[in-house]
Structure formats: structure tokens, C-alpha cells
Structure 1
Amino acid sequence: MSGIRATGVGSHPGEDQRDHAEAVRVVLGELGQEPGLPYLPEVPGRGATATMIGRGLAVLDALDADLHPAGWRLTGSSGSPGVDHRRARSLLGQDLDTLEELAQDALPAEGAAFKIQVAGPWTLAATVERPRGDKLLADHGARRELAQALAEGVRAHVADVRRRLPSLERLVVQVDEPALAAVVTGSVRTASGFSRHRTVDLPEASQALEWVLDAVTEAGAEPWVHACAPGTPWGLVRGAGARGLSVDLAMIAAADHEVLAEALEAGESVALGVVPGTGSAGATGDAQVTERVLRWLDMLGLDPAEVPGLVVAPACGLAGADAAYARAALALVRTSAANVRAG
């Protein structure tokens, strides 16, 4: 039997802390045992401090931020974060407290696997503003400082999660980079909206990502990168040190299939997004999902029994779904992964 697993991307529907606790219960209930890879759910409906960007800023080391009408803005390294930045950090701590409490009876007593998510350096740089305005992406020094602060923050975050979940044998850190494709193609608009930021050279794009992925590895975790945007440079991502590639099957370009096949053949992970992020529970059956996965492997010339790193997942986050569909989607990927395992 192969080690094919099932997981989710990260986000879930909801509007308050009770919804987050319920999302944790759903994830642990559906994916807490084989063949699941459970994860810390994100509930961005709670507000800006709970979004992917707010969570990423909560992890930063030695850089402060605050929330402005136009979005998040760095305020420097004074040690005096704004009220919203403090709330983002506090909320992440509360979410980890909830996870620690609920995971005690849901995860195996030893040899457990788990996944956490954090916004990547280029997505943060393309979204967060400098103290004087405009995106961090416009300032070479600022984006370098951001990537290094994120790397240091990730080390501490991994250590905190391991302390809270002592039965973990395998911890995956999924670095979310939905803006990477836009960064390397010069498609990110400036604050005015009338022009675009310059293209970031591929060596620099790789280096910033490498700092963060190396920090994950050095902290004893497994670095993955997720993106569901077309044009994501998966060869660059893998070359920067990602040992897991999380992709939407519908967004894979012809040239990317070879990179994904090479990753699987090397014993690395590929999380294949094959279940829609929104819809009606029961609209898609496990037979359809299983067939899509098997057809893709067949196209690559790969035997399911020889790709233990394959992971079946929704195509993207579940924040736009309702609670019933989110639960059904996780049950669907779990059943489909078991089907693929069985051949």
C-alpha cells in the first residue's frame, strides 16, 4: 500500500472564534487518521487579522505592522506593533490553543503528521505597504528584510507548534504564494493602479523563497509551496528547496507536468487539487475524483503504488463554501485518497 494522503489547502468558512473551533473539529475528524494529513484551519471571515496576510504578519520576527484603510502597512522594527498587528498575533495564539486542546484525543499518540500554513515572502511583498506607502515590492531592501524576518518567524512558529503537539513525527509548513506568478511577470499593480511594479529577477525570487524554505527545513519541518495561480514557476519553487508542491490540477501548464513528475519520482510530495473549493455537498463523487487522479498519473506514466508523495486535496481554500460543503470536501478527498491507495 502506498502512502498517498488527503489534506486541505487551509481556509474554511466562518465568522467567529466558535466557527474556527468547529473547523478544527472537522479537520481532525475527517483527516486525523490515515490517510489524512490534518492541518490548522484558517477562518478569514473573522476579519483582516485572520486572513492569509494577517496570519503571515503575525509570524514575522522583529517587524511591526498596522492596518490602514488601504490594507496592511509595515511600521518598522520599533517593537511597538499596531493594535491590529497585536490582535493578529493574539488570534494566532488563540487558534493554536484551540488546536492544542482538541488535538489531544484526535491525533495518534505517536508518529502523527500535521500541516500548518503561512503566507510566502513574495505574496506579502506584493500586498503589504512600506511605511511611506506603496508595496514593499517596490523596495529591494525592504523585500529582502521582509523575507528574512519571515524566515526567523517561521522557525519560532514551528517550534511552538511542535511544543503544542508533542506526538508529531512529521510537520509540513505550506508556504502560500498565490502572488508569485504575478511578481515574476511584472503584473503586480502599484498603489495608484496606473502602472505595474518591475519584474523581479528569477534569482532574487528564488533566494527570498529559499531563505524561508531553508528555515522550515532547519527547524525540522517539511517545506511545501502552494499556489493556484496560472504561470507559477514550479521549477523555480522546487529549486528553491520546496519538498512539496501544492497545485490546482486545472491550472497546471503543459511544461509543469514534467516538474511535478520529477518531484514525485524523487520521493517528494505533490498535493493535487482536484475537488472544487465551492459547490454543493454530494455534487461530485469519489469515483470521479479518483478517476481524475488516476488519469493524471497515467498521463505522466506513473504507477500509483510508486508515488507515496501524492496528496489528494481541494483545488483551493474552502472559505467561500458553506460549512456542510467544507466537511463534505474533506471527506471526499479522504475517500478518494484511500481509493487511489487501493489501486
Structure 2
Amino acid sequence: MSGESIFPPLTGPAATGIGSMPGTDAREAAKTVAGSLEALPYLPELPARGPGADMIGRSLGLLVELYARVEPSGWRFGDHPGRDTRRAHSWLGEDLDALEEFTQERTGPVKVQAVGPFTLAASVELQRGEKALADPGAVRDIAASLTEGLRLHLAEVRRRIPGAEVLLQLDEPSLPAVLAGTVKTASGWQRLRAVDRGVAQEVLRDVIGSLDAPVAVHSCAPGVPIELLRRAGASAVSLDASLLTERDDDAIGEGVEGGTVFLLGVVPSADRKLSDPAGSVSGVRTLWRRLGLDPALLSRSVVVTPTCGLAGASPAYARTALSHSVIAAQSLADNPE
């Protein structure tokens, strides 16, 4: 299927999480997510369990015919699957079991997450020791392997939750640094050459266009390349709304008018006292007014989220943050102006 899949239609206020949750109990995390997020639940990630449950290790476990292991310096590619790969597979299976249990009768959107090719390449070393991002051929190999692994993963989610309309979130927090040439070499003493924006768009388009699911691309870093992601076929862009500047206005306005959905992080992802939910989305209303957008588009164009993953939060705060996001989304729909 081509990358023309559109974001699942939003029939009302929607909120979701970015991916990670605190703790190590897959059933508790899935129960919290499914119970809190009626419009758009997601497959939780529990990095506190250790290597293989972290976002990089989990996604490396999805690769087909590429394998990685944990070294003192971090993740590094190897010749064959080892303990870390097996651990990643085991934990992903446990997470899918839990999500299946709490969403078995569900019909409608369900979100799953995986790290995108550029953040993987910026995070993993080749066998000779340099980051994979330094080798354009390795980047394309990672992208191709990831694409095949994601096809299998999406099929498995659909098998387990037959009524699900699966949405894939590609996490690319390193993409702005990749494009700016600020990713450090493995030694840390130098920086890798910037990846050409046209090349990055082509690689992402190849991945997105080869999957039979709509794709949202997430980055909680400053400078998210919204236009590039739209041209690459992303039907949604997920970002930390507090990092937006007026330089992003044109890209957001064109995106909304072109049907792109924005997952806007407005709820803090670390423990703190939360303001009134209506106050959490006041910046979104301000943005809409500044862009001159129709307030009626808000419920169809915005999904409310925490600013980033909730792995660093307390379990109680994580539950509160998700519930707060839901109430904020309802507030945005009830009072769009």
C-alpha cells in the first residue's frame, strides 16, 4: 500500500500518550492506557525493565536479518541474534499479550510505536565502532530491515486485535540533529556530516510508503521538520507544543489545511502540579487564532498528548497525565475559541 493512508478519522476529542510508561508491569500499563484513552489507546513501552525494553532496543528487535547487542558504549550491530535480541522479543510479546487482553473487543484506532531509521542509525554503532549514521548504505539497510519488521509487527497487532485500525508512530527524536549535522561521532569528539534533507525525505518516504497503515512521526526535540515529514507521507506529526515558534506557523497552517493531524504535547511528562485542563490547551487556541484557522478544525486536527514519554514519571502521575490529556481534549472541543 502506498503512503497515502490517512490518519484514522477523529469523530470527537482525542488524546493519547507518546509511548513509554513507568514501572515494569505490562498488564498494569496496558490496563491504565486502555482505561484512560478511549479514543486512541496505544501499546505501552516499559524501559525500566532494562536493555531491550528501551525504545532503541525494542525497535532493534523488530529488524529483519539485522541484529544488535549491548556493549559498554551502547547498542552495536553484530552477526547473529543474542541475548539482547531474545529479551527484546520476549518483552514485546509480553506487552502485546497485555494490550490484547485489555483491547480484545475494541474497534477503532490503536497506536503502536517504533523508532525511525535515522534515530536508530544515530543511536547504534556498526561493528567497526562508528555510528551507523556515518554510512549512507547502512542507513538504507536499516530502513529496509525496519520496514520489513514493521510489516510483520503491524500484521501481528491486527491478528491479536482484529477490530483495531492500527496507527504507527515512528519516533524520530534525533532527526532535527541529523539534518543539522549535530550528531556526535562514537568517540564524541566530532560531529557527523548532516544528512541532505532530500535524502532524508526519500528514505522516510520509502519506509512510510511501504506500510499498510497511516504513520505519525514523533519528535520531542526543537526544530521538527514538519514540511519534510508531510512530503515524506506522514499523515500526522507529533511534537512538544511548548517548543513551537512562529517560524513553524506556515508549516502548521499548511499542514492543517492539507489534512495533517497534529499530536500536540501540552501536558508535562514529569511529575508536577497540573493546571486546569482548559489552561493546558490555551496555547493551542492561541496558535489557532494566530494562524487564522477555523476553530471547527480543532477536533479533527489535534490530538492532545503529554509533551513526551512518561517513563520518568511516577505511576500515579502517569495516570493523572493521561486523564488530564483526555479532559483537555474535551475542553478544546467544547470551547474551541
TM bin (shorter chain): over 0.9
- Report the secondary structure of 1:118's partner residue: strand
**2:298 is aligned with 1:292:** no
Encode CA deviations 1:147-174: one digit per residue, 9 max, x unaligned: 1111111111111111111111x32100
Match 2:142 to one of 143, 146, 162: 146
Match 1:333 to one of 321, 325, 328: 325
1:290–1:233 Cα change, 3 Å: closer
In 2, Cα distance between the equivalents of 1:81 and 1:260? 42
In 1, Cα distance between the equivalents of 2:109 and 2:145? 26
**2:250 is aligned with 1:250:** no
Match 1:40 to one of 43, 58, 82: 43
In 2, Cα distance between the equivalents of 1:202 and 1:283? 38
> How big is the shift at 1:323?
0.6
**2:229 is aligned with 1:237:** yes
- Matched-pair identity in %: 46
Question: Does the Cα contact within 8 Å between 2:61 and 2:67 map onto a contact in 1?
Answer: no
In 2, Cα distance between the equivalents of 1:215 and 1:154? 10
1:4–1:283 Cα change, 3 Å: closer
> How big is the shift at 1:69?
1.1
Q: What's the C-alpha RMSD, in Å, of the aligned pairs?
A: 1.5
In 2, Cα distance between the equivalents of 1:4 and 1:334? 8
> How big is the shift at 1:268?
2.2
1:102–1:4 Cα change, 3 Å: closer
In 2, Cα distance between the equivalents of 1:22 and 1:306? 35
Q: TM-score when scaled to structure 1? A: 0.91
In 1, Cα distance between the equivalents of 2:256 and 2:18? 19
Q: Which residue does the alignment assign to 2:312? A: 320
Q: Which residue does the alignment assign to 1:74? A: 77
Q: What are the within-5 Å matches in structure 2 for residues 170-189 of structure 1? A: 170-189=165-184
**2:129 is aligned with 1:133:** yes
Encode CA deviations 1:37-80: one digit per residue, 9 max, x unaligned: 1101111111111111011101111211111111111114xxx3
In 1, Cα distance between the equivalents of 2:252 and 2:270? 25
Question: Does the Cα contact within 8 Å between 1:172 and 1:224 map onto a contact in 2?
Answer: yes
> How big is the shift at 1:228?
1.1
In the alignment, structure 1 segments of 5+ residues that lack a partner are none
> How big is the shift at 1:84?
0.6
Question: Comparing 2-11 with 87-96, which one deviates more in the overlay?
Answer: 2-11
In 2, Cα distance between the equivalents of 1:145 and 1:234? 25
Q: Which residue does the alignment assign to 2:200? A: 205
In 1, Cα distance between the equivalents of 2:28 and 2:275? 24
**Corresponding residue pairs, total:** 325
> How big is the shift at 1:2?
5.9
Q: Which residue does the alignment assign to 1:306? A: 297
Encode CA deviations 1:224-250: one digit per residue, 9 max, x unaligned: 100011122221111111110001111
Q: TM-score when scaled to structure 2? A: 0.93
Question: Does the Cα contact within 8 Å between 1:67 and 1:82 map onto a contact in 2?
Answer: no
1:41–1:215 Cα change, 3 Å: same
Encode CA deviations 1:247-280: one digit per residue, 9 max, x unaligned: 1111113222221222222222101111111123
In 1, Cα distance between the equivalents of 2:11 and 2:290? 19
Q: Which residue does the alignment assign to 1:58? A: 61
> How big is the shift at 1:304?
3.0
Q: Which residue does the alignment assign to 2:14? A: 5
Q: What are the within-5 Å matches in structure 2 for residues 157-172 of structure 1? A: 157-168=153-164, 170-172=165-167
In the alignment, structure 2 segments of 5+ residues that lack a partner are 1-9
Q: Which residue does the alignment assign to 2:209? A: 214
Question: Does the Cα contact within 8 Å between 1:2 and 1:305 map onto a contact in 2?
Answer: no
Question: Does the Cα contact within 8 Å between 1:4 and 1:309 map onto a contact in 2?
Answer: no
- Report the secondary structure of 1:87's partner residue: helix
